[in-house]
Amino acid sequence: MAGRRRTWLDGRVGVLLAGLDEYDMSASTVSAAELSQERVQWVAAHLRVTPATGAEVPDR
């Protein structure tokens, strides 16, 4: 069976966990994913765009 394709969320979670690690902090992968998804929903709601577009905004 082939490996699972990485998603934008996997990348965001990896960056968040790496950033926390630099400060000797940690979080579970599930918690980091939930936080990232909540952030995307907030951005999408406040910019009045779709969640897919909201996921792109932090990269700009």
Query: Which pLDDT tens digit goes with each residue over 26-41?
Result: 999 999 999 999 988 8
The pLDDT of residue 1 is: 44
The alpha-helical segments, DSSP class H, found in the chain are 8-22, 29-47, 51-56
Is 50 part of any domain? yes
How far apart (Å, rounded) are the C-alpha atoms in residues 8 and 1?
22
Is 4 part of any domain? no
Residue 60 scores a pLDDT above 60:
no
Is 20 part of any domain? no
| pTM summary value | 0.73
Is 39 part of any domain? yes
Whole domain around residue 41: which residue ranges?
A: 27-54
How far apart (Å, rounded) are the C-alpha atoms in residues 13 and 35?
9
Is 9 part of any domain? no
Burial of 55 (0-12, 13-18, 19+ CB in 10 A): buried
The pLDDT of residue 44 is: 85
Number of domains the chain contains:
1
Is 32 part of any domain? yes
